[in-house]
Chain A
Amino acid sequence: MSHAIQDQRPVRARRARAGGSLTRGGLPRWAPAATAVLSTLLGCAAGLAFGLQSKVQWGLIAALLFVAATYASSAVVENTRQAKDRVATSVIWVCFLLAVIPLVSLLWTTLSRGMKVLTGHFLTHSMNGVTGFEPGGGVYHALLGTVQQVALATLIAAPIGLLTAVYLVEYGKGRLAKAVTFFVDVMTGIPSIVAGLFILTTWNLMLGFGPSGFAGAMALSILMMPVVVRSTEEMLKLVPNELREAALALGVPKWRMILKVVLPTAVGGISTGLMLAVARIAGETAPIMLLVFGSQLINGNPFEGAQSSLPLYIWEQYKVGSDASYDRAWAAALVLIAFVMILNLVARGIARWKAPKTGR
């Protein structure tokens, strides 16, 4: 028996090589690129020939042609398994392009329209004394407001969220944990305007405080908390149980084990989750409108008086509807994107710096 099996192996290997699947004979390496170029050209030609208006239709024709041509050419030159493989690959590429095109076009529009007025002056001045229709003015008051509101919201939501996640993963069992999980899920679904209204009725109407950056930050923290809890929970669950046991077996109390072993091991993922949460609230407009009210002036005190914020500023400028205000809106959008991007890079830096080190 064993002889027969041993004898067969080399034969099969040889046959496979003779069949060419090891050398991947057939289509050259540039074939996919050539197919792509060809099908794009054909797609454009077909679009022109049939007088199709929408460029989307051109693109779809090109994409379909690409997939079909890939399958046909591979099935003819190679075998059907290779053809299926190539079709799967090309479908992934088409989907990738479909997903990337809107992103690139968004970035391009924001960049090209926003760069026009994005200067040092724009970043360091408020709209004080500038009417919506004339050029000039700046975004400083809104940037300051966004930074302060987001920072305050993070200060509120991050500790509560982290501690909740630690409770759920390390301690929680039974009714209370189930209830907490349920309410976190419910909170995930709260529309931002509802969070704003909640703070408006309690903080402003019942307790009688005026509009302030802090009120906005509280609403933002309601939106941020469930995201932090969820992402941190997932990251903590990824920490291997063996590490927890190793620490406990040393006679380390549980809270120290969590602080010194579990959290440091998961810190990379936790900070990424925090950043996603920050990115989510940095673009919120509705609660800011209700609670921070908006202002054309610089107000450096988030605890008193109306402030502005970048999303609100963009909306206001868009509403004015003049050429100058449109330019300002796009420039502010660019500032907002850059703000989130920089935060993201900082978080990645921290994650990489703190992540478990490997190697010698």
Chain B
Amino acid sequence: MAKRIDVSGLSAFYGTHKAIDDISMTVEPHSVTAFIGPSGCGKSTFLRTLNRMHEVTPGGRVEGKVLLDDENLYGPGVDPVAVRRTVGMVFQRPNPFPTMSIFENVAAGLRLNGGHRRQDLSDIVERSLRGANLWNEVKDRLHKPGSGLSGGQQQRLCIARAIAVEPEVLLMDEPCSALDPISTLAIEDLIGELKERFTIVIVTHNMQQAARVSDRTAFFNLAAVGQPGKLIEIDETDRIFSNPSVQATEDYISGRFG
């Protein structure tokens, strides 16, 4: 359970456009790492390189290494499908599958991969929904469409769906930006609990959120529009928010630019 991520010299491209440049960092197991930084500095791009979703975009290309407990995700012969089973992802906008019920949505990752007995499946679905703090709200309507839930519930459904495949790492790209404060709080609490089981990386535009949920915070920035994004610094969250070592970080956090 819960693996360490070790990134070194990672650059990502869209066609010829370099979106992020030479990023190196380490993410400890059972920790929450927050990515902050202005829009367009490549946080999403970097996050997506961590489970090889970047190459799904046409023209997407990656240079450098991402070690998951000493195994290079971009090494020769690595199966992206296996990578994504190990490194799960939750997107900015809740995206339950519209043709499937709540139950089927949670079971999707397992069922789509086949080989699970019905009883196991409903156990796992219940466990995942409980894990996402959604069980009590949906247990009476498991077979209704997932699109009938509220935005916050849909997002927790997506989290349940992601943790049902038992990944080691969970990536979240602004998971709360489409949600109201109460749903946001529910998901932040959930992140605190999920940390026991997974390594979590979360992108957020909300400083308070980064301060509340994360152990470490990474600040990204870009020199100018059209330039690639860079990692400015990564440190303990307390340190970043009280006494960052780079001036740009302090400016960004205190709202003086960006």
Contact = CB atoms under 8 A, between A and B. Distances in A.
Does B associate with A? yes
Q: Is the interface of A mostly helix, strand, loop or mixed?
A: helix
B98 A356 contact: yes
A242 B84 contact: no
A247 B98 CA distance: 12
B224 interface: no
B108 A245 contact: no
Which of B53, B88, B89, B167 has its CB near the most chain A CB atoms (within 10 A)? B89
Interface string B202-215: 00000000000000
B195 interface: no
A253 B97 contact: no
Contact of A357 (B53, B145, B158): B145
B81 interface: yes
B113 A256 contact: yes
A60 interface: no
Given A358-B147, A359-B145, A246 B97 contact: yes
Which of B51, B93, B109, B112 has its CB near the most chain A CB atoms (within 10 A)? B112
B44 to A, nearest CB: 11
Contacts of B83: 251
A264 B99 CA distance: 7
B71 to A, nearest CB: 16
Nearest to B171: A249
Given A256-B113, A356-B98, A358-B147, A249 B58 contact: no
Interface string A209-246: 00000000000000000000000000000001011111
B56 interface: yes
B85 interface: yes
Nearest to A173: B58
A72 B233 CA distance: 71
A27 interface: no
Nearest to A244: B56
B93 A242 contact: yes
B148 A359 contact: yes
A252 B56 contact: no
Contacts of B165: 250-251
A248 interface: yes
Contacts of A173: 58
Nearest to B81: A253
Given A250-B109, A250-B161, A252-B109, A242 B99 contact: no
Nearest to A259: B112
Interface string A175-190: 0000000000000000
A90 B88 CA distance: 56
A265 interface: yes
A265 B113 CA distance: 19
A245 B51 CA distance: 11
B98 A358 contact: yes
Contacts of A261: 97, 99, 112
Which of A246, A354, A360 has its CB near the most chain B CB atoms (within 10 A)? A246
A257 interface: yes
Nearest to A250: B109
Interface in B99-119: 99, 108-109, 112-113
B56 A242 contact: no
A250 B147 CA distance: 19
A356 B112 contact: no
B95 A243 contact: yes
A84 interface: no
Interface string A77-99: 00000000000000000000000
Interface of B: 51, 53, 56, 58, 81-86, 88-89, 91, 93, 95, 97-99, 108-109, 112-113, 141, 144-145, 147-148, 158, 161-162, 165, 167
Interface of A: 173, 240, 242-254, 256-257, 260-261, 264-265, 354, 356-360
20 contacts: A242-B91, A243-B97, A245-B89, A245-B91, A249-B89, A249-B91, A250-B85, A250-B108, A250-B165, A251-B81, A251-B88, A251-B165, A253-B81, A254-B81, A260-B108, A260-B112, A261-B97, A357-B145, A357-B147, A358-B145
